[in-house]
Amino acid sequence: MPVVDCGAMKTRVLFSAGAVVAGLLAAACVAALPGGAQTSSAEGPPPCDPIGTVTRDIAYGPASLQKLDVYPAAGDTCGTNPVVVWVHGGGWRTGDKARLQAKRVWARQNGWTLASVNYRLSDPDVPAPRRIRYPTHNRDVGRAVSWVYDNIDGHGGDPSRIALIGHSAGAQIVSSVGVDEDYLRRAVREAVCGVVSLDTEGYDVTQRIRGGGWGARLYRNAFGNDPAVWRDASPINHLDATDAPQLVIRRGTLGRQRVQIEYARALRAAGVPATVVVTPAYSHGEVNQYLGSVNDDVMTPEIEAFLDACFAS
């Protein structure tokens, strides 16, 4: 008979195969709570959902884009699966949490609960004084990660084992959230066991903006024109030995790769374990598209190994 483990409640409820239906399973977890009553959000996280239901547009803040989706890893356990927090790219001005490509199936097959996060964006059509800019993106993602830590056990995830993965602007954001103590309280930082950044130059915002070109305009839209802000926004300036291990994807022009190499060296110099995966044949978009694909034998196996070590630790 299958077993439903209702997370922190330490209660095990057995069902015959014919009785495993969504309503009965959900009711069983509720009934297993003290007094048989469901807790409200004000009293703490909801009871676990043992049937693997996807929950969309969970609000982690009051703004319309402060929402995330949760994809449970399996249908028969609660509060035991490692958690991957995914942060999309899009130049800090576009993108959406629903665009997961192969990542949803990949996470489930590996036994990971997946949380995909939206954050407020830097709309270039909004006048500069009112435009969303750094550090809002990072604060939003930090708030989302904190929500995951506080609530993910109600969706099958283990809050003590969290990894962050982001692409492009999302890679810059997760790198910042992973190393800058301004964004996560201590307990949440300690639960983050690894950070995967998929192809960004944003480790050093100052260097990227001073490099000029279209990319510099994109960065100014998100980070403004103050060099002091650029320095503060650069993850390379916030490293120390308490940071979680990182995996860096290296690709692109020589200048882009130079920033990625310098960041990996700075991580190691600070005492942070750093893994570099080189993907010379992939475009910037393909790095995002191919992650988790059964046809990718370049990135995906390396990232799986990194995450397995992260979650085991």
Q: Write the CA distances from 135 to 36, 189, 195, 205, integer angstroms.
A: 43, 18, 19, 13
What pLDDT was estimated at residue 311? 98
DSSP class of residue 296? -
State the Cα torsion 174-179-180-183 to the nearest 10°: 50
What pLDDT was estimated at residue 53? 85
pLDDT in tens, 82-136: 999 999 999 999 999 999 999 999 999 999 999 999 999 999 999 999 999 999 9
What pLDDT was estimated at residue 38? 33
What pLDDT was estimated at residue 14? 27
pLDDT in tens, 205-238: 999 999 999 999 999 999 999 999 999 999 999 9
Number of residues assigned to the chain: 313
Fold of 52-312: Rossmann fold (3.40.50)
Q: How, if at all, do strands 67-71 and 55-59 pair?
A: antiparallel
Domain residues of the chain, as ranges?
Answer: 1-51, 52-312
What pLDDT was estimated at residue 100? 97
What pLDDT was estimated at residue 165? 99
Residue ranges of the chain whose pLDDT lies below 70: 1-51, 74-78
Reported pTM: 0.84
- Tokens 């990182």 correspond to what residue? 246
Dump the DSSP string for 12-72: EEE--GGG--HHHHHHHHHHTSGGG-PPPGGGSSPPP-TT---EEEEESSSSTT-EEEEE-
What pLDDT was estimated at residue 8? 34
What pLDDT was estimated at residue 79? 73
